Chains A and B, each alone.
Chain A
Amino acid sequence: MATRSACRALERRFASAAAAAAAAAAARPLVAEVRSQRNAVFSREQARQRALYPRIEKIEVSMQGPGLDGTLLVMNRGMSTPLSCARHLTEYHVNNSVLALVDGEPWPLHQPLTDSCSMTLLTFKDSDPTLANQAYWRSCAALLGQVLQTAFKDDYTVELLSTPEVPVTSGAFCCDVALDPQLDSWTPSEESLRSLTKGAQQLIHKDLPWEPLEVAPSVALEVFSHSRCKQEEVEEKAAQHPKGRVTLYRCGDHVLLSAGPLVARTGLCSQYEVTALHSLGQGPWGLHRRAQGLSLPLQLQAHHTVWRKLRQRAEKLVEVSRLEEAAPPSPPDSTPPPTSQ
């Protein structure tokens, strides 16, 4: 008797919960749908940009670099990328180039070349790898964003906010995210951070390329039509860019927005760990959280003792002052704020 009434109560409770969930799910578009829509728009725009060059036109690319000065390569306009130029050289160039410098401008490795130019391939071991380091830090943050987007169950929304530009000396790259209000009281345990790391390692293992695409802001707004926060970010970036265009990147089936060029592919990262998830307080999109991580490229692996020390430092919150965007921010905040400054 008691059990029957309890059963009925439970049934009613489950039925109501299921109805509520169904209603909520119907109201919010499914995560898979959103992803496929973004992918479809991206592919369509990519195909349209490729179709702008129906006939093969040749351009001359002169390579600069150690041992390569003055090498002239004849490539196709709108189709050849700096990666294809590297493939004409050696396997070392293919595996180790991170970014290309086309006429002094940082150029992602998978973006097609449009004019005759002079090109330098950048690696992590140059005499001045600052651009490569910044691009790598940005790509790791983008990867973290992708992992966070796909890690949670479909019931919970994940809003990726704009990734702050953090210098390498601060010790960790950050990805700002606003999670579902249901998760406001959730703090990640060691296990959950480790599972996020595992997700990132899986992506790294797949060695997916980051495909860049320079689009007009209208197309970018269409891509992010389901996310108001992303649309605002698109407008911000379009205002900052000299030509008013916005660069989108696609990794696997995740489309993202980035401030600057990203590295060629995920396989370039080797030691990758998600170190912490700090709460920064309420923002316009919900509880503002900062996910931090640490990573090193395949060519610059650290000994485990060094890695452990760097990882311990990466758990601390990295402060980013919003006022200065290009200039380096204040040093990372430890629990007693530094008095002598």
Chain B
Amino acid sequence: MECVFGLVGNGFAIVVADTSAVHSILVHKSNEDKIMVLDSHKLIAASGEPGDRVQFTEYIQKNVALYQFRNGIPLTTAAAANFTRGELATALRKNPYFVNVLLAGYDKETGPSLYYIDYIATMHKVDKGAFGYGSYFSLSMMDRHYHSGMSVEEAIDLVDKCIMEIRSRLVVAPPNFVIKIVDKDGARQYAWRESVKDAPVPSA
């Protein structure tokens, strides 16, 4: 099952997601990137039904971009999170999206932040959060070792501990993970943690 987790450190926020695209017992793909770059300083890590996940996050991404075009300034992370929650809430009683979202962002005024938004439109601003079966393992790991103001090295170390724990204890543990970071320099991919590599394709 899909594992998504994230935490806030000293001037940055990190989100981690597994990269398996699964259909009942089959793994269709083990390098599917589930963390979308919402804009220059925001990341949205989503888990849930495959169609909903892509459609919903793209919809949020395009609307965030539209706001910026119309108003000349980007949305704050809090505003984007509230917008996302609002869209989930509006659709909930009609045509619900089965997507759980961790929204991480960096604002110049308020620094890094992480928002936990689940599929029934619950929203919390958190220091650390997780979704999926992996959350049973990563949440307690993070509770134990987290302290506010962690450095990037400490945070990556904690992330690796969580991934190790998920890999060793979860019965259908996903083999590969992607780690993305957002800080004052923007949102970008930090690393992959792969234990199953696909057949190498020589790059063009």
A and B part of one assembly: no
B-side residues, CB < 8 A to A, are none
A-side residues, CB < 8 A to B, are none
